Amino acid sequence: MGGNVKGSLRFLWPYLWRYRRGFAMGLAGLAIKDLLSVSQPLVVRSATDALGHGFTVRVIFEFCALLGAVSLTKGVFQYWMRVILIGISRDVEYDLRNDVFSRLVTLDSEFYSRTRTGDILARATNDMNAVRMMLGPGVMYLGDTLVTLVLSVAVMLRTDWTLTLIALAPAPLVSLAVLGFGRRIHDRFETIQGMFSDISSRVQENLSGVRVVRAYVQERAELANFEKLNRGYIHENLRLAKISGVFNPLLTALLGIVFLLVLWAGGLRMAAHKLSLGSFVMFNLYMGMLVWPMIAMGWVANLLERGRASLGRVRALLAERPRIAAPAVPRPVPAPLHGEIEFHGVSMLFSDGSYGSAAFSNGLYGNGSLSNGSYGNGANHNVSDGSGHRSDAASGPRLQSDRRVLDNVNLRIPAGTTVAIVGHTGSGKSTLAALIPRMIDPSAGAVTVDGIDVREFSPGDLRRQIGFVPQETFLFSATLGENIAFGVEHATEDEIRRAAEIAGLAPDIADFPDGYQTIIGERGITLSGGQKQRAAIARAILRNPRILILDDALSSVDTATEERILTSLTGVMRGCTTILISHRISTIRSAGRIFVLEHGRVVAGGTHAELLARGGYYADLYEKQLLEEELEAI
């Protein structure tokens, strides 16, 4: 437990050090407030003893005025103590939350594949609040109780050490109660926070998938599952309440015993003329003052243990590191980037059951803001090296087996050309594309851009030169114009309109009530699948990229719209290295060169006519789509 406390203090120290002056002022205010509090019983003792020698109105007035002045001054320092210390706890919470969010947007999709969104939200909200309560009220009341206790006991010892020792006799029992119950409160609160994460995750999944829940008529089943989680959460909270319910009355009972001992022993000493009436009254006032510190000690212990449990969860989140990051001394990306891409003996192994091709389009890739706005610092999906052992780029628990997605791929894409990649589902097309902006690193081999290994670049610098439209686009709950301009600072309205026109989205926007200022809802829920894809294409075009990757980006539009978009893209693609990934022959037939992937290997390459003449998968796919078109025309 001591080691955990020291670890927590070491972790929080940089945050607290930023506000050291304010913290010092707050603690000084606390100390002055407690000095004034401890002086009040001394004033009462003097007044009682003075009145015992003779009653005068003037004496009463003087002591009342003195007590009023002390109380007023104490109130002023108490106010500023609370404002400063509680304010600093809010500042630390603000800094911590910013650091948590900063870390979240740089983590790759491997982290998000093993961490539930609800758990992340719970750590960023509920746990953060518990940490703030520990640093604010927890630290403030801990300091208040300790200073009050030390000062009061010092005055009591100076007045009558025998009676003071009697009053402090139950103190070891109080300490044992605080330590014993504090440990149980800590463990129980950790369990409760974990259950709160489960509830948050369940709610988040149901809200995101509400249409699926309704389509499969699973409202009752999901409600039953939620009730089960909620019931367990309430049950654990009731268990915590029972522990606290025993703890607080136990402290009160121990304090009651202390009062009885002081009354009994103090009365005997007064009768023996070893203690004045004023000192006896003072002792009882100090005992009354110590009631709150003793009770508050239990509440503070509760706050500190809750905060420490939550801080552990926040620390674990901040300890996460992106699997793909910039090298110690990153190589500058050539300016301008020519866009020649080469794959040198590239192989890629993924742990079975962990990732599919769609994983790339759903990750949180933020560093460098790729064109669809949903990307972070890259995704290294439990990558292993060619021998089946995990490489340095991927750490973490080893799963049972690995699946080879790419197998010794050698491929050259000249700068400024348009190439297409086609193949069966799961053949490795999206994985191949994801290697270029370094969302993942190869298990073996290397990917170079302009002759330089992409691992030598900062991922952010490289991605700023790339426009990427994934299979599943992500749009934010913002205006359509803001979504198109995402990742491009100071984009003008004319530039946004031009990008939308090239992407074939302008006619649709003309029908929207607020045009480019239309709020499109969470994840672009108010748009159709085709509109989402065209918005993502416009986002990529607006970047004026040197490399453009369209990963099945026209699958949700009809063939006529597809043809218009491709025609409009001709100007953008001229001089830009373009990679088209699609199952539609109509999308890729005009590409300068088409590569066919099967089971992670490049098995064929050539123009549309050359591949048709050669036969195989490409020719079969073409014949199948021709037949489909003929059937649709009937």
pLDDT tens by residue, 488-525: 888 888 999 888 888 888 888 888 888 888 888 777 77
At 319, list the tokens: 């300890």
Domain-embedded: residue 566: yes
Q: How many Å apart are CA 419 and CA 607, to the nearest integer?
A: 9
Q: How many Å apart are CA 291 and CA 461, to the nearest integer?
A: 62
Residue 479 one-letter amino acid: T
Q: H or E stretch including 593?
A: strand 593-598
Instruction: Give the phi and the psi of residue 607 in degrees, each rounded to 5.
Output: -80, 175
Q: Are residues 296 and 155 in the same domain?
A: yes
**Tokens 């980006």 sit at which residue?**
553
Q: How many Å apart are CA 480 and CA 476, to the nearest integer?
A: 9
Q: Are residues 240 and 282 in the same domain?
A: yes
By percentage, how much of the chain surpasses pLDDT 90?
A: 8
Last residue of one domain, picked from the residues 272, 296, 318:
318
Q: How many Å apart are CA 175 and CA 293, to the nearest integer?
A: 13
Q: Is the pTM of this model over 0.75?
A: no
Domain-embedded: residue 199: yes
Please give the full DSSP string across 552-565, using - where no structure is assigned.
Answer: STTTTS-HHHHHHH
Q: Are residues 358 and 258 in the same domain?
A: no
pLDDT digits (tens, 9 = 90+) for 454-481: 999 888 888 888 888 887 788 887 888 8
- How many residues in total does the chain contain? 634
Q: Are residues 415 and 536 in the same domain?
A: yes
Least confident of 36-45, 172-181, 241-250, 318-327: 172-181
pLDDT digits (tens, 9 = 90+) for 571-587: 777 778 999 988 878 78
Q: Which of 31, 76, 74, 45 lies closest to 286 in space, CA to CA?
A: 45
Residue 567 one-letter amino acid: T
DSSP 455: G
Give the pLDDT mean for 591-616.
87
pLDDT digits (tens, 9 = 90+) for 53-86: 666 777 778 888 888 898 899 899 989 999 999 9
The CA-based angle 469-525-437, given to 5 degrees, is 20
pLDDT digits (tens, 9 = 90+) for 540-599: 888 888 899 988 877 777 777 777 787 777 777 777 899 998 887 878 888 889 998 888
Q: Are residues 368 and 311 in the same domain?
A: no
Q: Is 416 helix (H, G, I), strand (E, B) or coil?
A: coil
The CATH number assigned to the domain holding 566 equals 3.40.50.300
DSSP 549: E
Q: Are residues 271 and 379 in the same domain?
A: no
At 30, list the tokens: 């606390």
Is residue 365 within 8 A of residue 376, CB to CB? The reply is yes
Q: How many Å apart are CA 145 and CA 151, to the nearest integer?
A: 10
Number of domains in the chain: 2
Q: Are residues 293 and 395 in the same domain?
A: no
The CATH number assigned to the domain holding 306 equals 1.20.1560.10
Q: Tell me which residue range forms the domain holding 360.
A: 349-475+529-633
Cα distances (Å, whole numbers) of residue 399 to 353, 354, 382, 389, 440 = 9, 9, 9, 11, 18
Q: Is 318 helix (H, G, I), strand (E, B) or coil?
A: helix
Domain-embedded: residue 144: yes
Q: Checking phi first, is residue 500 left (phi over 0); if not, alpha (psi -120 to 50) or beta?
A: alpha
3-state secondary structure 217-272: CCHHHHHHHHHHHHHHHHHHHHHHHHHHHHHHHHHHHHHHHHHHHHHHHHHHHHHC
Q: How many Å apart are CA 482 and CA 467, to the nearest integer?
A: 17
DSSP 479: B
Contacts of 601 (CB under 8 A, 6+ apart): 406, 407, 408, 409
Q: Are residues 309 and 454 in the same domain?
A: no
Q: Are residues 302 and 370 in the same domain?
A: no
Q: How many Å apart are CA 288 and CA 263, to the nearest integer?
A: 12
Give the pLDDT mean for 516-542.
82
For residues 366 and 429, the model is more confident at: 429
